[in-house]
Amino acid sequence: MIRFLVKRTGQALVVLLLVSAIVFLLLHQLPGGPARAILGPTATPEAIAHFNHLQGYDRPLPVQYGMFLKRLVAGDLGESYKLNQPVFTLLAERLPKTLLLTALSVALAALLAIPLGIVQAVRRGRASDYVLTGAAFLAYATPVFFLGLVLILVFSQQWPLFPAEAPQADSVGGILKEPGGLVLPVVTMALGIIAMFSRYMRSAVLDNLGEDYVRTARSKGQSQARVMARHVLRNALIPLASLLGLYLPTLFSGALVVESMFNYPGMGLLFWNAAQSNDFPVLLGVTLVVGVATVLGSLLTDIAYAVLDPRIRSVS
Amino acid sequence: MTAEAAPVSGEGPVGSGALEEAGALGKGPGAAGGSGAGGESGATPSLARRTLAVFTRNRLALLGAGVLAALLAFCFLGPFFYHTDQVHTDLDQASLAPGSHGHPLGTTDVGYDMLGRLMHGGQTSLEVGLAAGLLATLFGTVYGAVAGYFGGWVDAVLMRITDAALAIPALFLLVVVAAIVTPSKPVLILIIASVAWLSPARLIRGEALSLRSRDYVHAMRLMGGGGGRAVFRHILPNAVGTVIVNATFQIADAILYVAYLSFLGLSIPPPAADWGSMLSSGITYTQVGYWWLIFPPGLAIVLVVAAFNFIGDGLRDAFDVRLQKN
């Protein structure tokens, strides 16, 4: 177990280092470098050279990467060109809101997808299974923003039930005080996750129904409900929870689109606005945070798996 | 799902990356009767014929192929029969509702005919999606085959690089890259392919890992064949089913990426258009309820992406491929 932990954590550290290297290299692909982006198109070559010298941008790349890492470890992600605030502060302010949106969507999705998947598995091959399967495939093929637009057209324009703009409060608590504004963003984000979860549940339940321990439980005379709850669901739900760790990147991408669509003041909107205004420190800061979260997510997933299932430890 | 499979996660735009996995877990309805049939037919017919036989028995896959053919014809042949001006704006004719004289699907906010624009935009979406998906598959396949065949430190180095790139959600990477360079059609293809090659790379690497220990590869090595010959003559031809199936999913994903990039405002500037940019220019008008700016391009994207996914699902059964992500 210890060996597995050390090995897997070491791998994650290497990947983290590479993520930072990718972000660093992207920073260096800026047309004219960061100086041009900060000082503007009218800056003289002398001013740019001076700026580059002050910032250390005239040093060799490996030295610069070292400096970049040093600042990174100290929590210094640079300063936004447009908002004149440290990127770290901006992220600390926005990240909780994105996590709130994501958590609500995932919760709603799980609530609906788990029963849907069970229904499909139990009624496999019947009409309801086909209909739900078809719906899941269509949901996969639907871009999140198209879905969001349709929801806005129907539930905000046709029948004005919910606002088309998310709450604009500064804090997570403030956002929760306007639950109406959360409905459309959360539902938009949840639908894609439902498609994914329900497909997973369907096959996990199907796999488990064919297992020996289910047959044993049945032959002992246990009721269908008890077999489902004690044997099938328990074994199907644990991997579902860990699936979350693996789908973090997908969730972040979803949040990016949903936030920019409903003007939800989270990290995704921050990123989108930064993309519109070429605010590179923000773009790269967000990219880095998302990358780190993803690596940690998959690390934790693996560790959770290893704790729950001894077979994995021995394989790796 | 082993620990090794863990870093494979972020590929595909929002939601769609899950499809390969879901498809492998539960087959589409039509597939149920089709799979396995090819193997029971007595004499061994050629791979191509057996594949075709299983594929054509999968109704959803056939439907997908039909829808795709129809959409291709609509976008690329349609403009020969239905002439519209998709370059000059015409503000006198702006924002007409569907059914207006000469404009069956109405007009856009700057007066482009919506039906003609749908063809015009579809060309971009399909061209970029197909080219990017194929390019990504090609590069990822060779990369993965090399990593898997050579193993050892080559594999470790190559795979840690893909792990790191996969850790950053593709959409974020795409937006950063698209902000640095100005997109045009070829640039867009390169940008999307530069992110999308990661998942085929991992997939083919797994395939190569198992193929390289086959007897015929050993035999060839003993006869003095080199690594290049092993990769290109033995590993890749044997992985062809996996490659083709993956390519269809890659194309579906690439078409979605084009749409997402356009939606985020990072696409080829007007008067060029694609389905994603058509959708995003319709957003401004949701407040006044111009639904015809939104539904046609949106449904077109859903149709083409679903079609490719159904085709991929059918091909998977036909080639009898299990898309294990390992």
Query: What's the whole-number mean pLDDT along residues B175-202?
Result: 84
Question: Residue B196: helix, strand or coil by DSSP?
Answer: helix
- Among the listed residues B295, B248, B99, B216, the one whose alpha carbon sits nearest the alpha carbon of residue A143: B295
Set of chain A residues whose Cβ sits within 8 Å of the Cβ of B165: 22
How far apart CA B142 and CA B134 sit, in angstroms, is 12
- Tens of pLDDT along A221-246? 877 777 777 778 777 777 776 677 77
Q: What are phi and psi of B107, to 5 degrees?
A: -130, 165
Which residue of chain A has the CA closest to B253?
A141
When pLDDT is cut at 50, 70 and 90, the band that residue B182 belongs to is confident
**pLDDT > 60? residue B31:** no
Judge contact between B18 and A196, C-beta under 8 A.
yes
Give the chain B residue whose CA is nearest to the CA of A254: B14
Contact (CB, 8 A) for B57 and B34 = yes
- Whether residue A18 and residue B164 make contact (CB cut-off 8 A), yes or no, is yes
Q: How far apart are CA A33 and CA A31, in angstroms?
A: 5
C-alpha pair distances (Å), B264 with each of A29, A91, A265, A291, B177: 21, 20, 16, 20, 13
User: Which residue in chain B is spatially nearest to A275 when comparing CA positions?
Assistant: B179
Assign B293 to helix, strand or coil: helix
Could you read off the pLDDT of B81-115 as tens digits, one per residue?
777 777 777 667 766 677 667 767 677 777 677 77
Q: Which of A98, A194, A181, A186 is nearest to A140 (CA)?
A: A194
Among the ranges given (A16-20, A51-55, B26-30, B299-303), the one the predictor scored with the smallest mean pLDDT: B26-30
CB contact under 8 A, A316 and B1: no
- Segment (H or E) for B212: none
The residue whose two tokens read 């997808």 is A113
d(CA B25, CA B19): 10
Within a domain: A207? yes
Q: What local confidence, expressed as pLDDT, does residue B15 receive?
A: 41
What is the CATH classification number for the domain harbouring A305? 1.10.3720.10
- Look up residue A234 and give its two tokens: 């328990």
A141 in a domain, yes or no? Answer: yes
* Substitution target from B1, B14, B309 for chain A, most A beta carbons within 10 A: B14
The ipTM estimated for the assembled molecules is 0.78
pLDDT in 10s for each residue of chain A, 316 residues:
778 788 888 888 888 888 888 878 877 766 656 666 667 767 777 887 887 777 777 777 788 888 878 888 887 877 787 777 888 888 888 888 899 999 999 999 889 888 888 888 888 777 777 788 888 888 888 888 888 888 888 888 778 877 877 787 777 777 777 777 788 899 999 988 888 888 888 878 877 777 778 888 888 887 777 777 777 877 777 777 667 777 888 888 888 889 988 888 889 889 888 887 777 788 888 888 888 888 888 888 777 777 776 665 555 4
Q: What is the largest CA-CA distance in chain B?
A: 76
Q: In terms of C-beta density within 10 A (0-12 exposed, 13-18 middle, 19 or more buried), how is residue A316 classed?
A: middle
Whole-number pLDDT of residue A32: 58
Residue B51 burial class via C-beta count within 10 angstroms: exposed 0-12, middle 13-18, buried 19 and up: buried
Q: Which residues on chain B are in Cβ contact (under 8 Å) with A250?
A: 9-10, 12, 14-15, 17-18, 169
Evaluate whether residue A201 is within a structural domain: yes
> How far, in Å, CA of A268 to CA of A285, rounded?
12
Per-residue pLDDT, B324: 38
User: Distance, in angstroms, between B323 CA and closest chain A CA?
Assistant: 15
Chain A residue numbers with beta carbons less than 8 Å from the beta carbon of B161 are: 18
Residue B211 to chain A, least CA–CA distance (Å): 20
Å between A301 CA and nearest CA of chain B: 8
CA distances from A15 to A64, A296, B10, B159, B235 (A): 20, 10, 14, 10, 28
Partner B contacted by A246 (CB < 8 A): yes
Domain count, chain A: 1
Burial of B160 (0-12, 13-18, 19+ CB in 10 A): middle
Helices (H), B77-184: 78-81, 114-150, 152-167, 170-180
What is the identity of the amino acid at A1? M
CB contacts under 8 A, A 45-104 vs B, are none
pLDDT tens digits, A286-311: 888 888 888 888 888 777 777 776 66
Proportion of chain B above pLDDT 70, given as a percent: 77
Instruction: Give B-chain residues touching A252 at CB under 8 angstroms.
Output: 169, 172
Residue A178 lies in a domain: yes
| Residue A18 within a domain | no
Q: Do A15 and B287 touch (CB under 8 A)?
A: no
pTM for the model stands at 0.78
Residues B201, A293: Cα–Cα separation, whole Å: 23
Residue pair A126/A120 in contact by the 8 Å Cβ criterion: no
Residue A28 maps to a domain: no
Q: Residue A190: which domain range?
A: 87-315
- The CA distances from residue A248 to A104, A107, A293, B166, B264, in Å, are 14, 14, 8, 11, 20
Outline where chain B has alpha helix (H): 18-25, 31-34, 47-57, 59-76, 78-81, 114-150, 152-167, 170-180, 185-196, 198-211, 215-222, 227-229, 236-238, 240-263, 275-282, 295-319
**Domains of chain B by start residue, with CATH:** 49-74+115-324 (1.10.3720.10)
Q: How many CA atoms lie within 13 A of B318 on its CB side?
A: 27
CB–CB of B29 and A26 under 8 A? no
Scan for tokens 């180095």, then name that residue. Answer: B157
